[in-house]
Amino acid sequence: MIIFENTLHFHTDRPTVVAIGKFDGIHKGHMEILKEMLSFKKQGLATAILTFTVPPQTLLHAPGSDGAIEHVLTTNREKRKIFSELGIDYYVEIPFDEAVMQICAEQFVKQILLERLNMRAIVCGNDCRFGYGGSGDTALLKRMGEEHSFTVRVVDKVFCNGVEISSSAIRTALLAGRIEEANAMLMRPYLFYGEVVEGLKIGRTLGMPTVNLIPEEEKLLPPKGVYYSRVLHMGQEYRAITNIGSKPTIHGDKPGIGLESYLYHFSEEIYGDFLFLSLYHFVRDEIAFDSIDALKAQMQQDIEQGRIWHRENL
């Protein structure tokens, strides 16, 4: 996959089918768009995803005085990895700055989609909005498609258990700790993609070594606690138990939240490797332990119960 990052100075020689949007969460609604794109690929068009370096809300709704940022379901780093694995040909992150915000919808189509992306087709949801003030919509795309000879394919909304699938619905479920509900709407179970960092190795001294990730600052976190999970490393999947906590066993002086996972039947040192961590089920709240022995006893109990849950569910 060819990546154009944080720039408007890009060009694709190959004619493309394009999808534009935040793609936050990469949920089952987005998958319908991707399926349509792949049908055009059979006609000789390259696939191109156009998204933004930062979510548009970050600029449109300025952070408060406390410095809070807009948290996302899928970071830009995660999007690049996922779209690459899905076989997308071009991935474009344009800077969502004041200059881009001022581009009117028609100029956006002409200058960005047609001239730079060599677009011959576009796939979008029926609520698609783009350009200055969100003035661009499917009606404008269809009119310009007739004028400039590109195809417009509109995908209907997708529902799950009677609820319209959207990033907002997924975010609400995650923040309430309803992991299964969120996962039912996502293309993949809620995931983190990141580098394994060196921890304090407390788990290793207890005979239960763990791997540690530090989530990106903008990543939305579900409630603190213990979760049943799975880890994908070097093409191999492992059943795991993950703790999301404010005092993770990670090296560093900055306080923060980390993800610490125990993988069944795994004891390799993989510091510096990147892996996917997916959450499946909330087990219990985070607990403060009075002693190492109490911590070890609880970890052993979590592992035994986790083996049963994984056998029955994954």
pTM of the model: 0.87
End-to-end CA distance of the chain: 31
Closest-CA residue to 15 (of 88, 116, 136): 116
The larger pLDDT score, comparing residue 82 to residue 248, is at: 82
Strands 119-125 and 151-155: parallel
Question: In the predicted model, is pLDDT for residue 250 greater than 70?
Answer: no
Averaged pLDDT for residues 124-132? 91
pLDDT tens, residue by residue, 143-200: 999 999 999 999 999 999 999 999 999 999 999 999 999 999 999 999 999 999 986 6
pLDDT at 1: 95
pLDDT tens, residue by residue, 24-71: 999 999 999 999 999 998 899 999 999 988 655 554 454 443 445 679
The larger pLDDT score, comparing residue 53 to residue 241, is at: 241
pLDDT at 190: 98
pLDDT at 63: 45
Could you tell me if 115 and 148 are in contact, meaning their C-beta atoms sit under 8 angstroms apart? no
Compute, in degrees rounded to 10, the torsion defined by CA atoms 106, 91, 128, 125.
140
Domains of the chain, residue spans: 2-160, 189-313
Q: How is 116-142 classified by DSSP, letter by letter?
A: IT-EEEEEEETT--BSGGG-B-HHHHH
Q: Is domain 2-160 annotated with CATH 3.40.50.620?
A: yes
pLDDT at 157: 93
Could you tell me if 46 and 17 are in contact, meaning their C-beta atoms sit under 8 angstroms apart? yes
- Architecture of domain 189-313 in CATH? Beta Barrel (2.40)
Q: What CA–CA distance (Å, rounded) separates 174 from 180? A: 9
Q: How confident is the model at residue 207 (pLDDT cuts 50, 70, 90)?
A: low
**Stretch (H or E) spanning 51:** strand 46-52
Averaged pLDDT for residues 76-89? 95
The larger pLDDT score, comparing residue 240 to residue 66, is at: 240
Q: In the beta sheet, which residues pair with residue 130?
A: 136
Closest-CA residue to 143 (of 38, 135, 99): 135
Question: In the predicted model, is pLDDT for residue 252 greater than 60?
Answer: no
**Stretch (H or E) spanning 304:** helix 292-313
Q: In the beta sheet, which residues pair with residue 14?
A: none
Q: What CA–CA distance (Å, rounded) separates 59 from 101? A: 9
The pLDDT mean for the chain works out to 88
Could you tell me if 150 and 114 are in contact, meaning their C-beta atoms sit under 8 angstroms apart? yes
Closest-CA residue to 286 (of 249, 312, 314): 249
Q: How confident is the model at residue 17 (pLDDT cuts 50, 70, 90)?
A: very high
pLDDT at 184: 97
Q: How confident is the model at residue 229 (pLDDT cuts 50, 70, 90)?
A: very high
The burial class, CB within 10 Å (0-12 / 13-18 / 19+), for 290 is exposed
pLDDT at 314: 86
pLDDT at 42: 87
Q: What CA–CA distance (Å, rounded) separates 241 from 303? A: 7
With a pLDDT cut of 70, the percent of the chain lying above it is 89
**One fold for both 2-160 and 189-313?**
no
